[in-house]
């Protein structure tokens, strides 16, 4: 909740969040609003996709956020088609009564959700022993704001002992297209700036996020 309440460069909307363990099993689903309808209903499953993706494509020695995957999956990119792999298990995503969505007994909890999402909001989780223990996915605002909220949430959870990444700073932060050198590793794994009415109100926020721990 505290991460959502800060300035994140988006529309200041309420959010869904999902945590998966290293096996891709959903551990928790939550929302920040007054009820399950206070945030985009479709973002519940998107948050789970993001968590699954960050977990599935991170390693003990290299973290990839969902934001890092955006450029590489575009037509002609080195990972084009990745977004169509590992589809969402719809019987898990939509099972059970809707009144349980986002609660401790959310129907996704205890099952593998699958899914691949390739825009900001998914981050791998590393504990203080530098062990990769799963991932978090956040959805409900612009994808750049989602990334910022996920990042701050991971930091609050003390699960940001990230070993290495493809960002300009060597972690798994978002690389904004046009704001990193080209050609470069960071540019290869970049993401569009989420402008609102043509105004970039987000890149400086992402650049000022708390540093990862090591």
The pLDDT score that the predictor gives to residue 19 is 98
One digit per residue, the tens of pLDDT, for the chain of length 214 reads 578 878 899 999 999 999 999 999 999 999 999 999 999 999 999 999 999 999 999 999 999 999 999 999 999 999 999 999 999 999 999 999 999 999 999 999 999 999 999 999 999 999 999 999 999 999 999 999 999 999 999 999 999 999 999 999 999 999 999 999 999 999 999 999 999 999 999 999 999 999 999 8
Among left, alpha and beta (phi > 0; psi -120 to 50; other), residue 156 is alpha
Please state the pTM of the whole predicted model. 0.97
Fold of domain 2-207: Beta-Lactamase (3.30.450)
Cα 79 to its chain centre, rounded Å, is: 18
């Amino acid at each position: 909740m505290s991460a959502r309440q800060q300035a994140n460069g988006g529309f200041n909307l309420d959010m869904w969040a999902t945590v998966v363990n290293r096996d891709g099993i959903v551990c928790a689903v939550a929302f920040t609003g007054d009820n399950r309808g206070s945030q985009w209903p479709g973002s519940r499953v998107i948050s789970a996709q993001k968590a699954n993706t960050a977990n599935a494509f991170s390693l003990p020695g290299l973290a990839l956020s969902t934001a890092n995957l955006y450029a590489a999956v575009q037509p002609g990119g080195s990972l084009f088609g990745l977004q169509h792999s590992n589809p969402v298990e719809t019987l898990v995503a939509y099972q059970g009564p809707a009144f349980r969505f986002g609660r401790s007994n959310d129907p996704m909890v205890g099952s593998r959700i699958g899914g691949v999402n390739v825009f900001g909001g998914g981050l791998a989780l590393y504990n203080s022993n530098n062990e990769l223990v799963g991932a978090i996915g956040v959805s409900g605002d612009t994808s750049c704001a989602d990334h910022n909220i996920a990042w701050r949430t991971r930091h609050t959870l003390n699960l940001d002992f990230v070993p290495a990444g493809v960002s300009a700073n060597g972690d798994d932060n978002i690389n904004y297209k046009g704001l990193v050198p080209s050609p470069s590793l960071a540019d290869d794994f970049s993401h569009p700036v989420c402008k609102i009415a043509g105004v970039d109100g987000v890149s400086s926020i992402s650049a000022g996020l708390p540093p990862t721990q090591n």
